[in-house]
Chain A
């Protein structure tokens, strides 16, 4: 009963930090960046696929957080609110970029996007992870914008369904549907390349 819901404010860390952010305390903003900066950067770089533009988006997000903090009512967790701001900025930037020719397929998508490999305990040692992750990154690129966002928020950043839905600005049901379709498409693409089944 007392356990906080997935998308709710954490009374231990979120509430005192929000109080300080509301007073436009710059040190509090620095603390927020220390807590959530990696997630903000991972999301921006995964969505924008350009480390410089992603860092600009994170910088802009920090300014917006500073401006908007007094009006933040705490309806969602601080992390999902912060990631929602980053996702919105990335979406705007992708929309502006729509008519660009785009980049040629990256030889090493992780390196060019400023992303790094962080091996988990459950990784299969028999697989060529470098090749597989490059393949996966290209497969993520081929998802729709909504599916990509859902997969990144839930699977890459490890948010709960509620937090991911809040960050994406949709209901949990919509997020689950996008996530399901996104995962199906990823598995199909990877199966096609004969990598995930090894």
Chain B
């Protein structure tokens, strides 16, 4: 069995390929560790994680959840109240129609009153009050 395996040209080719691939390496660059260490000591590495941790921690706190629920209830209540007040109140159109009708009525009333007091005083209808009838 072993002899056959040893003579197998494909297995031999595989072994040679693996040996070649393993024969290429790189050394670790100590400067990389120095740079990383400097950044970590300056707080670069941990800051975003800490911020995220803090946010997640705050979001999962019962007080925060209760506060969020309260805000939701208040905003829902306000929304419902606003909606119901809009539904109950007269529309703009109806307000405008009502105002116009009352204005016309009052104008008509005042017009009737003026006509009844002015007609006997002017005497002649269709003549301009200040027309002298000519100078010649």
A-B interaction: yes
Query: What residues make up the interface of A, taking CB atoms closer than 8 Å to B?
Result: 24, 26, 29-30, 33-34, 37-38, 40-42, 45-46, 55, 58-59, 62-63, 66-67, 110, 114-120, 122-124, 129, 132-133, 136-137, 151-152, 155-156, 158, 183, 186-187, 190, 196-197
Look across to chain A and name the residue whose beta carbon is closest to the beta carbon of B35.
A59
- B36 neighbours in A (Cβ, 8 Å): 29, 33, 59, 62-63
B25 & A38 in contact (Cβ 8 Å cutoff): yes
Instruction: Note all chain B residues with C-beta closer than 8 A to A67.
Output: 45-46, 48-49
Nearest-CB residue, chain B, relative to A45:
B26
How many residues on chain B are close to A (CB under 8 Å)?
A: 31
A110 to B23, CA, bound (A): 11
Specify which of B22, B28, B35 is in contact with A158 (CB 8 Å cutoff): B22
In the complex, how many angstroms separate the beta carbon of A79 from the nearest chain B beta carbon?
14
B40 is an interface residue with CB less than 8 A from chain A: yes
**CB-CB nearest in chain A for B27:** A38
Q: Which of B1-60 touch A at CB < 8 Å?
A: 13-29, 31-33, 35-37, 39-41, 44-46, 48-49
A-binding residues in B (CB < 8 A): 13-29, 31-33, 35-37, 39-41, 44-46, 48-49
**Given A63-B44, A196-B13, does the pair A137, B29 have CB atoms closer than 8 Å?**
no
CA distance A115 to B28 in the complex (A): 11
* Separation of A122 and B46 alpha carbons in the complex (Å): 46
Contact (A119, B17) CB under 8 Å given A26-B40, A41-B28, A59-B32: no
Question: Within the assembled complex, what's the spacing in Å between the Cα atoms of A16 and B14?
Answer: 37
Interfacial chain A residues near B45, Cβ < 8 Å: 63, 66-67
A183 touches B46 (CB 8 A): no
The answer to whether A118 touches B25 (Cβ under 8 A) is yes
CA–CA, A158 and B24, complex, Å: 11
A38 touches B16 (CB 8 A): no
User: Closest 3 interchain pairs by CB?
Assistant: A37-B28, A155-B21, A62-B36
Smallest distance from the beta carbon of B72 to chain A beta carbons, Å? 32
Within the assembled complex, what's the spacing in Å between the Cα atoms of A124 and B16?
8
- Whole-angstrom distance between the Cβ of B5 and the nearest chain A Cβ: 15
Cross-chain contact B15 with A38 (CB below 8 angstroms): no
Is the CB–CB distance between A58 and B46 below 8 Å?
no
- What B residues does A62 contact at CB under 8 A? 32-33, 36, 40
Q: Do the beta carbons of B26 and A30 come within 8 Å of each other?
A: no
